[in-house]
Structures are given as structure tokens and as C-alpha cells.
Structure 1
């Protein structure tokens, strides 16, 4: 099964985080953490690691229009943190391109 956000079926927890499944939703943990507009509105045991399924569905739909800077395919769900940068990407593409992905406990 492929991640609904990045499209990769790779189950490599060190690269993408655990591949999480609930109902029809499949997502890498890091894809959830780095999604541009995905709030973590639940507690850790709700949805997928606190990300509620309706919010994930909304993010998947919203991301479908965005083009990845690295692979040029649609579905880019993350973006560069720098305010002057408008690059959007799939987490899997950023990992393979050697981009720096860091999470410090805040969704910015």
C-alpha cells in the first residue's frame, strides 16, 4: 500500500517514519508531520498519531493540485519553511534529493 500523501509504498521507518494505516488512509508518519496544512487536532491515540482522518482526507485533496519541485508530479503536501520560498514537495522526494527535513515539536 502506498502513502496517500507522498505516493511511496516504501516502508522505511528511518527515512519516512512508520507507515500508518487506519481504514482507507495510509500515510508515513513523517508525511503527516511535514504536511503543510495538516493540524494535529487529536490525542496520540486518535486517528493516525493524533491526526484525525477527516483532516488527513482534506489535506490529501488540497495537495492534489500542488506540483512537487523535485519530481514534477502532483500531490505535493509539504513546503519549504523559508517565507521567501514557494517550493512544494513530497517528503519522499525531499528525502531522496537530500533536503534537510527537521521537526522541533512545532508545526510551522
Structure 2
């Protein structure tokens, strides 16, 4: 459970809680067998399918987080941080009809005929289709503040649906906002005359300050 603020511990997960969870996973269950992953069959599994808490289903699948990602399990990285196995994972309820062969809006490769684990569709416009891996990559680059449907630009409904389907959307600015020198070009000012024949007696690099706010003008190019 995330009991701390985002800047505390490990992204809000306090270190005492992490150590307690590691201790719990290392313990043996009442049948004297370690908690083994239902996918790789190795011990140390800590992710439990949320359906085991909901009668009458009571799913008993436990898995490692990396194993679950490869097998098609879904982990919702918000709220109660629920995880679901490949049988009980959430599915899209969007009514979307393809025309001919629909392509992923991001990689331009073909997608499945209907929404499924590997193929998602925007719930707002129902026209933007994409692979899970493609939209996940876009979410990591865009961050929470810029992530939206690549086609209709819807944010509220799109974000809620992607969170529900297990897409990880980091709470930060877009990657391109954090690059070194990302806005360096905004502070560059053109400093020479581009006229075919510059008439300024001081040369192409000469400027005059004019106006309020001041503008740099080439007297020979006017």
C-alpha cells in the first residue's frame, strides 16, 4: 500500500512497508510451501490477483510482477494498486468498428480486429487504435500532464481508461520538456540580414534598436 507522499520512500512506498512485504513473501504458507509464481513456478511471488477477494470467483493466482507483464496480467498503478491475472484482467467495453485493416496510430502496423489486451482503442472517439506497447511508450514520454488521445486529444476519459487497463502514466512533465537545452532555440534571435542585396553601410550584422519593446532591425533590408 502506498502510504507516503510521492517524494517519500520509493515513490510513496515507505521503506518499512517494503521490508515488511519482502518478509511476508519469504514466509511459507500454512501448507509449508513457499508462495510460488503461477507462471514461472519459482518462489518469491508477491502479486495476487484481486479477484481472489471477490466471491464467488476467488482466484488463487500469485505471480511476480515481471512474469505477470509477460503473461498478460494487468496492474493498475493508482488508487488501491489492484492487479489481475490473465483470466480476470479488465477488458474494454468500447463499441468500435474497424473499416478494412485498421493500423496502429503510432507505429502504423496492423492491430487486432477488436479491442483486446494487446490492442486498445480510445474510448472517447473510438477511432484511434493502437498497440498496448505503443501507447505505453507514448505515456512514458508524455507524462501525466501531456498524455492524451493522439487523435481526438481527449484527456479526461482517455486517461481514466488507460489507467484502468494498466497503462503506466508517470506523474511528471513530458520527456521532451526535461531534456537539456530543450528550449534553447526559443532564446535564439536571428542576427543578420538575409536580403539578396543588403544596403546597410555597416554590413549584414549591423542592427538598430527600434520600438517598445525594442525590435532589432536591419536598416539596409527595409
Q: Which TM bucket (shorter chain)?
A: 0.5 to 0.7
Change (3 A) 1:99 1:66: same
Aligned counterpart, 2:41: 72
TM-score of the pair, normalised by structure 2: 0.29
CA distance in 2, matches of 1:93, 1:67: 12
For 1:74, what is the secondary structure of its paired residue? coil
**Structure with greater contact order relative to length (CA < 8 Å, sep ≥ 6):** 1
Flag the 1:101–1:40 CA change in 2: closer, same or farther, 3 A: closer
Counterparts in 2 of 1:104 and 1:47: CA distance versus 1, 3 Å: closer
The gaps in structure 2 that reach 5 residues or longer are 27-33, 53-57, 83-222
Q: Which residue of 2 aligns with 1:88?
A: 62
Q: CA RMSD in A?
A: 1.6
Q: How far apart in 2 are the matches of 1:46 and 1:104?
A: 16
Corresponding position of 1:42 = 4
State how 1:1-108 maps to structure 2 within 5 Å. 39-64=1-26, 65-83=34-52, 84-108=58-82
**Higher CA-based Rg:** 2
Cα distance in 1 for residues equivalent to 2:64 and 2:19: 16
Q: Describe the superposition over 1:33-61 as per-residue Cα deviations: whole angstroms up to 9, x where unpaired.
A: xxxxxx22211111001111111011012
For normalisation by structure 1, the TM-score amounts to 0.57
Number of residues paired by the alignment?
70
